[in-house]
Chain A
Amino acid sequence: MRPAPPLLRLVGSIFAMSGGSLRAHRMRSLLTTLGVVVGVATVVAMASIIEGFNQTVKTSISSFGSHVIYIRKFRPGFYVGGFPDSLRHRHAFIPEDAEAIRRLCPDVAEVAIIAFTEGATVQYRGRSSSGLQVIGSDPQIQVVNVYDPGIGRFITSEEVQHRSQVIVIGRDIRDALFVRGENPIGRMVHLNGIPFRVIGELEPKGRSLFGNPDELVTIPYTTLDKYFPPPDNAPFYVPARGECYLNAVAVSPERNGAAVDQIIEVLRRRRGLRAGAPSNFEVFTEDALADLYNQLTGATYMVMILISSIALLVGGIGVMNIMLVAVTERTREIGLRKAVGARRVTVLLQFLIEAAALTGIGGLIGIGLGAGVAQLVRVLSKLPAHTPLWAVIVAFFFSVGVGLFFGLYPAVRASRLDPVEALRWE
C-alpha cells in the first residue's frame, strides 16, 4: 500500500477549495467580516494618525533644539478633576530672574524670555491673518530655541529696550499677507491695529504639535507688555502682566541636569523658599514633554486597542457562527470528501484556511479603509498622518489570527464528522 501523501503537498489544493467556497457566498462572507474590517480599520487609522503626531513631535523637538530647559509655573500634563487652584495662582517669572540665572548658574549658557498672547490679527494692505499667537521675546531666544531668520534679522537688545514696534514673521504669515515674490522686510504691518515694521522672517520649520513656528509672530517682550498686556480673563497658562516664562539652554547637553539644579536653586533663593519647602515653579527639559507625549499616545493606544479588540471579538464570533453554519450546510460535502480519502487534518485545514481567508480579506479591506481615513485626515488637517508598515503587517496577521482562532472550533467539528452519518445528512 502506498503511504499517505505529505500534508504540505495538499496545501495548495486546500487553498483553492477554500477560495472557491468563499466566492460562492460573497455577500455573506463580506458581512461576516464587518467586525474585523472595523477593528482593523480603527487600528490602522489610529496608528497612522499617531505616526503623524510622532513625526511632528520629532520635527518640533529638533526644530526647537532638543535640549531646551523650560522654566514654567507648572508642568504640562493631565490634571484629573480640573486644573488645581493652587497651581493657578502661582506667579510666573520676571526679566530679573533671567538676569540672575545668567549670572549665577555656571552651567547655563543662555536664558530667553518668553511671553505671549493669543488670538491676534495681523494686517497688511487689506490682507490679514488672524488667530495668531504673538510671542514676546528677546534676542536670546534665537540661541535657546535655535531660531534662524531666513531673511532679514532677529530682534536686537536695543529694540527690546526701546519697546520698538518691530516684528519677525513666520513663513505662513508672509504667504498670507504678501504677494508672491514681494520682499516683506521693511514693510509696515498692523498687529491688532498697531503698526509694526517687519524686520525678519523665520526659516520655515514645518508642522509641529506645540504650535507651528511658521504661524508665529515674534516681537520684543517689552513691546508685548506695552501694547498687548494679557486681559483679566486670559487663560491661566498665559503669564500675567509684567511676568514671563523662561527658556534656558545648558553649556552642553551633558550639563543639562546640573543646569536644571542650578536654576532651581537660584529661583528658590530669589523667592525666599526655605529648605524643605516645595517649589512653586517647575524646571523641566524636553524629556518631560516626551513623557507627556508618551502618556498621551499611550492612552490613545489603549483606547484604540480596546475598540479594535471589541470589534475583532465581534468579528471573530461572527466568523465562528458563519463557519458553524457552513459546516452544517456542507455536512454531505464533508462526508463525501472523507469518503474519497480526506483525512481529518485535511478537512480541518480546509475550514481553518477558509476562516482565516475570510478574516484575512476583512483585514485587507480594513487596512485599505484605515489607510484611506488616514489620507483623508492628512488632506483635511495639516497632520502628516501616514500609515506605518508595521501597522499594516500587524493588522493583517492579527485578522488572520482571529480567523484561525475562531475558526478552530468549527473546523474541528467538521473534521470529526462521521463519514457515514455525514453522507446521510439531509
Chain B
Amino acid sequence: MLIHMRDLHRVYELGAEKVHALAGVDLDIERNEYVAIMGPSGSGKSTLMNIIGCLDTPTRGSYVLKEQEIGTLSDDELARIRNQEIGFVFQTFNLLARADALHNVELPLVYAGIRHEERRRRAREALELVGLGDRMKHRPNELSGGQRQRVAIARALVNKPSIILADEPTGNLDTATGEDIMASFERIWQQGNTVILVTHEADIAKHAHRAVRMRDGRIESDVRTPITTAARP
C-alpha cells in the first residue's frame, strides 16, 4: 500500500470560526494507480492534495505513506519526503521566472544533493521525455502555457518520485493544450508511476481509472473503472 489514510481531518481556525476543510477522509491508494479527485470548489480537494504531498499535515487522523506515519514528522523530514517521494504539478506552473527550463527541472535534484553533471543529464532526460528537448535554454516567458506546464511535469518527474500530484494542471490551459498535458500524464502512468490529479472537468477525469468525488471535506464516492488492456503498453 502506497497511501493509507484513516479518519483524516484538517481544520482551519479563522479566529473563532473553524473550517473543516477535511472532515474524516478514509482513502487507500496503491502503487501505479491513476486517480482523479473531483468535486465542487471548496470541497477540500486541494487540502487533501497538500496533505498527500506532505506540504501540510492533518489536524487529526492517520496518514501513512510507504509504511511511514507522516503526522509525527518534523519539517525537515517532510521536506525530504517531498523531495524524494512527491512530484508536484501546480495549476499556475510555479516555475522560477529567472531560470531556464533546464534549471527549473533540475531544482529538486539540487535539494537532493545530486552533483552538477548528473543533475544536468537527468534534467535533460526529463525534458526530452515531455517533448521539450529543444527548449532547454528557454526561460518560462519564452514558452507557451502548455510548454510551461510540461516543464513543470518534467520537474515533477526528475527525481523519480513515488507519486505525481497535479492540482488542476489544465485549469490555466485551453482545451487542446489540456488534452496534450493529459496525454503526458497518461504516458507517465503507463511507465509505472502513481498519478493523482485534481480536476473538476469530467473530460479530464476520464483519463484516470479511478474517480474519487469529494463534498464538504468528505469522500462522497470512489469509483474504479476497469483498466482496459488496450491502455496498458
Residues of chain B contacted by A335 (CB below 8 angstroms): 94
Residues of chain A contacted by B55 (CB below 8 angstroms): 338-339, 419-420, 423
Q: Taking the nearest CB of chain B, how far is it from the CB of A214, in angstroms?
A: 61
Residues of chain B contacted by A337 (CB below 8 angstroms): 107, 111
Q: From known contacts A346-B111, A419-B55, infer whether A340 and B83 are also in contact, taking CB-CB under 8 Å.
A: yes
Residues of chain A contacted by B113 (CB below 8 angstroms): 4-6, 9-10
Q: In the docked arrangement, what's the CA distance between A345 and B81, Å?
A: 16
Chain A, Cβ-Cβ closest to B51: A420
B183 within 8 A of A: no
Contact code string A391-426 (vs B, CB < 8 Å = 1, else 0): 000000000000000000000000000011001000
Q: Taking the nearest CB of chain A, how far is it from the CB of B51, in angstroms?
A: 10
Interface residues in A80-129 by Cβ distance below 8 A to B read none
B98 touches A21 (CB 8 A): yes
Residues of chain B contacted by A1 (CB below 8 angstroms): 66, 68, 80-81, 84-85
Q: In the docked arrangement, what's the CA distance between A157 and B82, Å?
A: 97
B19 within 8 A of A: no
A73 within 8 A of B: no
Contact code string B138-170 (vs A, CB < 8 Å = 1, else 0): 000000000000000001000100000000000
Interface centre among A3, A13, A339, A345 (most CB of B within 10 A): A339
Interface centre among A10, A340, A419, A423 (most CB of B within 10 A): A340
Q: Is the interface of A mostly helix, strand, loop or mixed?
A: helix
Q: Taking the nearest CB of chain A, how far is it from the CB of B89, in angstroms?
A: 11
Q: From known contacts A337-B107, A339-B82, infer whether A420 and B50 are also in contact, taking CB-CB under 8 Å.
A: yes
Q: In the docked arrangement, what's the CA distance between A20 and B97, Å?
A: 11
A341 touches B90 (CB 8 A): no
Complex partner residue of A340 from B66, B75, B76, B111, CB under 8 angstroms = B111
Interface residues in A294-346 by Cβ distance below 8 A to B read 332-333, 335-346
Residues of chain B contacted by A24 (CB below 8 angstroms): 98
Q: In the docked arrangement, what's the CA distance between A342 and B109, Å?
A: 10
Q: In the docked arrangement, what's the CA distance between A56 and B116, Å?
A: 54
Q: Taking the nearest CB of chain A, how far is it from the CB of B142, in angstroms?
A: 16
Interface residues in B73-122 by Cβ distance below 8 A to A read 75-76, 79-85, 88, 90, 94, 96, 98-99, 107-108, 110-114, 116
Interface residues in B48-86 by Cβ distance below 8 A to A read 50, 53, 55-56, 66, 68, 75-76, 79-85
A340 touches B155 (CB 8 A): yes
